[in-house]
Structure 1
Amino acid sequence: MNRYPHILGCLLGTALGDAVGLRREGLSRRRAERMYGGTPLGPDFILGLGFCSDDAEHTQMVGRALVLSAGHVAKFEKELSRQLKRWLVALPAGIGLATLRACIKLLLGFGPKRSGVFSAGNGPAMRTALIGVWAESDDQLKELVRICTRLTHTDPRAEEGALLVAKAARLTASGQYVEPTEFLRDAVGEVEGEELRESLQMAIKALAANKAPKEFADSLGWSEGVTGYVNHSVPAALYCWADSPNDFRRCVENAVLLGGDTDSVAAIAGAICGANVGSENLPPDWLISLAEWPRSKSWMRQLAEALSNEAKVCELPKPPGMRWLATVPRNFVFAAIVLVIGFRRLLPPY
C-alpha cells in the first residue's frame, strides 16, 4: 500500500489543526464565541494567514527522527532527543511546562532515559499520530511511542493517550480500517487507565445517541473548554474524529469550538483524520491559507516522501533539515504576534 498520502495527510492535518486552533488557544468556549462570533474558522492567525505552534513542530521532529533512525529504537531515541534540544535553543513560544523541563534536562546533559518528568500533559499525544501511520507493526509502534513519550513525560497516562492516538491514525494506512466507533469499543478493552476507559465508554454512548461534540464535552464537565490534560484532550479529539471521520473540515472545526487548549486538541484530531482520509481530501482553501515557514507545505511534502520510502533501511533519502537558524527569527516574530493577540484579549467583550 502507498502510504505517502496518509503520511502527508497526517503532517498537513496536524499543521492545519494547529493553525486553525491557534488563534483561540486558551480561551473558554464562551469567551471565544463572544470575541469571534460567527467568524468562519480557518488558518487565520494574522492577516488571513495560518501559522503553527509546537504541535506541528513536534510531529515534524518525530518524522525526521523516524527517517534518520530507520525505525531503530535506540537511534530514534537519540535523534529525537537531539531534535528537542535544538528546538528549545531556537526559543519556541508557548512551550508546555513538562516539555520545557524535560528539554532543559536534555540540554544540561541528562540522558534520554532520565530527561522525562512525571506529567500527564498532552505533549506526547500531539506528536505520535505520525508513528502510527509509519510503523510496520504494532510492536514497533508501541516501542516508538514509548520512547517518544518518555523523553518528556513519564506518567503512564501520557503514554497510554499517545498510544491511542497512534493506533487511531494508522487504521487506513494499515489496510485494516474499522469504523471509529468500533475502534473505540476495541480500545475500551485494552486501556488500563480507569479515567480514560470511562471517557471512551461515554464517547461510544454519545456517538450512538448522535450527540454533537459540544454535548459530549458538556457531559464530561468540559463546558468551559478542554484542558491540556491527556485524559481530556485525547477523548475530545477522538470524539471529533469519530463524529465526522470523512469530513476533515468539520472534524477540526468541532475540536476548535470546544474551547480551551484548541490548538493541541485540533492538531490531534487533524492528525488522526488527515492520516485516515489522506492528503487529497484536505480542504484546499485551508491549505492555501497555511503560510507556515521555514517548514512550509513543500517542506512537509519532502519529509513525507522520505518517510514513505518502503525500504526503511540505511539508504533512506535524507529528510529536509529543520532549518533552525531561520526558525529563530521566525519565533521572535511569532512571539510578537502572540503578545499583540494577548493584549487584545485584555479588552472587551468578556
Structure 2
Amino acid sequence: MASTARIPSLPASAATPGRRERARGALLGLAVGDALGAPAENMKPSEIRAKWGRITGYVSERPAGTDDTEYAIFSGLLLARHGSALTPAHVEAAWHEWIADRAEGPFRGAGFSERGTLENLRRGLAAPISAQHRHAWSDGLAMRAAPHGVFAAGRPDEAARLAAVDGSVSHDGEGIYGGQAVAAGVAAAMAGAPVVAVVASALAVVPEDSWTARSLRRAVTAAHLGERAVRAAVVIGGYPWTDLAPEAVALAFGAYAAADGDFAQAVLTAVNMGRDADTTAAVAGALAGATQGVDAVPARWAAAIAPARGTCLPAMAGHHVLTIADLLTPETPS
C-alpha cells in the first residue's frame, strides 16, 4: 500500500483561490468525480435510481479513482517533465516507459482507445499511426486533459495545443477535439473565468462544425433545464458504448453549466446522468474544482482520495493528484 506520507496537506482557506488552490481543486476534483462516478459507469439514470436512489456521495465501500485518475497523473507527470516543449516523441516514449514496455495492472490499459494504442505501440508503430485504431474518437484524451489546463492556466490556446500533442499518440479527430475542449476550459477556469467564459474558451479551440462543438452547444443551451434535458440533448440513444468523446465532454460541460460552477452539484449531476459517469464526473469535477478551488471539494469526499493504487497503470502507483497539482504550479520565489 502507498504511504500516506506522500499525501500533501490541503492549503488554508482563502476568499479568492490562488493558482495553486485552483490547481489542487482541479485535480482533486477530477479524482473525486472519477471515484463518485465509477459505480454508475455505463448505467442509465433509471438503473441508478433503482439501485441507489439519487447518488449523493460515495456508494462503494472503498471509493477510488479509476483509469481516468491514473492517466491524468500520467499526463501530469509528462508535463512536469517536459512543459511547453512537449513533443509527440516525448509522449510516445512515455507510453513505452510507463505502460507499453512493462506489465499492466488488472485493468490492462483500461479503455478501448488505450488498448488499441498499446497494441499499435507494441507492434512498433509510432505516432500518429499509433492512433489509428477503431476508438480514436473516445474520451480517453478528455479524461486526462485537465493537467494541460492546470499547467497552461489562463492560456486556453496553449492548453489545447498541449492536449493535441499528448493525444497524437492515442487519438484523432473528435477524440482530440474533446481533449482540447477540456484542457481549454480548465485553463480558463484556472484564471478565474466565469462559467460562460469557460464554456466559450472550450468552444473556441475546436472546429465550429465538429460533433464536439455541436454537442457542447446543445448541452449548455439545455443546462438551465436540468440534467434530464442535458442528457436528452446529447446522448446517442441505443448506441452501446458510452465513451464517445463528443457525448462525454458535452455531458460534463452541461453538468458544470447546470450547476453554475458549484463543485458538489456539478459532479453529482454528472454522476446521476450515467453513461460514462466516471469520466463525465471527473471532467465536471476538474472544471468546477478549478473554478472554485480546492476548498470547494467536500472534506468527506477529499479524504477518500489516496495515492493512486496502480490498478490500471502500475507505474502511477503511489502518486497523489495533489502532488501532481503542485508540480504543475511551482511557486515563484518572493
Give the alignment's TM-score, normalised by structure 1: 0.77
User: Which of 77, 89, 93 is the matching residue for 2:104?
Assistant: 89
Please report the RMSD computed on the Cα atoms of aligned residues, expressed in angstroms.
2.8
User: Which runs of 5 or more structure 1 residues have no equivalent in the other structure?
Assistant: 312-350
User: Which runs of 5 or more structure 2 residues have no equivalent in the other structure?
Assistant: 1-16, 310-315
Partner residue in 2 for 1:309: 330
Partner residue in 1 for 2:161: 143
| 1:94–1:293 distance in 2 versus 1, CA, 3 Å | same
- Over residues 140-179 of structure 1, what are the superposed CA-to-partner deviations in whole Å (9 max), with x where a residue is unaligned? 323311121121112x11111111111111123235x1x3
Q: Secondary structure of the equivalent of 1:6?
A: helix
Contact 1:51 1:292 in 2 (8 A): no
Q: CA separation in 1, counterparts of 2:201 and 2:85?
A: 28
Partner residue in 1 for 2:48: 32
Contact 1:53 1:94 in 2 (8 A): no
Partner residue in 2 for 1:77: 91
Contact 2:20 2:326 in 1 (8 A): yes
Contact 1:99 1:123 in 2 (8 A): yes
Q: Select between 60-69 and 90-99 the one with higher mean Cα deviation.
A: 90-99
How far the C-alpha of 1:97 sits from its partner, in A, is 1.3
Matches within 5 A, 1:272-291: 272-291=287-306
Contact 2:307 2:319 in 1 (8 A): no
Partner residue in 1 for 2:191: 174
Contact 1:149 1:159 in 2 (8 A): yes
How far the C-alpha of 1:277 sits from its partner, in A, is 1.4
Matches within 5 A, 1:184-263: 184-185=199-200, 188=203, 191-192=206-207, 193-207=209-223, 210-221=224-235, 227-263=242-278
| 1:69–1:262 distance in 2 versus 1, CA, 3 Å | same
Q: Given residue 29 of structure 1, which amino acid in structure 2 is its aligned partner? A: P
Matches within 5 A, 1:110-129: 110-118=125-133, 119-129=136-146
Q: CA separation in 2, counterparts of 1:102 and 1:310?
A: 35
Q: Given residue 329 of structure 2, which amino acid in structure 1 is its aligned partner? A: S
How far the C-alpha of 1:139 sits from its partner, in A, is 4.9
| 1:52–1:88 distance in 2 versus 1, CA, 3 Å | farther
Q: Secondary structure of the equivalent of 2:274?
A: coil
Q: CA separation in 1, counterparts of 2:104 and 2:42?
A: 25
Partner residue in 2 for 1:50: 63
Contact 1:19 1:44 in 2 (8 A): no
| 1:275–1:188 distance in 2 versus 1, CA, 3 Å | closer
How far the C-alpha of 1:127 sits from its partner, in A, is 0.7
How far the C-alpha of 1:27 sits from its partner, in A, is 1.6
Q: CA separation in 2, counterparts of 1:223 and 1:14?
A: 26
| 1:259–1:88 distance in 2 versus 1, CA, 3 Å | farther
Q: Given residue 85 of structure 1, which amino acid in structure 2 is its aligned partner? A: A
Q: CA separation in 2, counterparts of 1:243 and 1:108?
A: 44
| 1:151–1:186 distance in 2 versus 1, CA, 3 Å | closer
Q: Select between 264-273 and 179-188 the one with higher mean Cα deviation.
A: 179-188
Q: Given residue 130 of structure 1, which amino acid in structure 2 is its aligned partner? A: P
Partner residue in 2 for 1:8: 24
Q: CA separation in 1, counterparts of 2:102 and 2:44?
A: 29
Q: Given residue 127 of structure 1, which amino acid in structure 2 is its aligned partner? A: R
Aligned residues: 303
Give the alignment's TM-score, normalised by structure 2: 0.80
Q: CA separation in 2, counterparts of 1:87 and 1:26?
A: 29
Contact 1:212 1:243 in 2 (8 A): yes
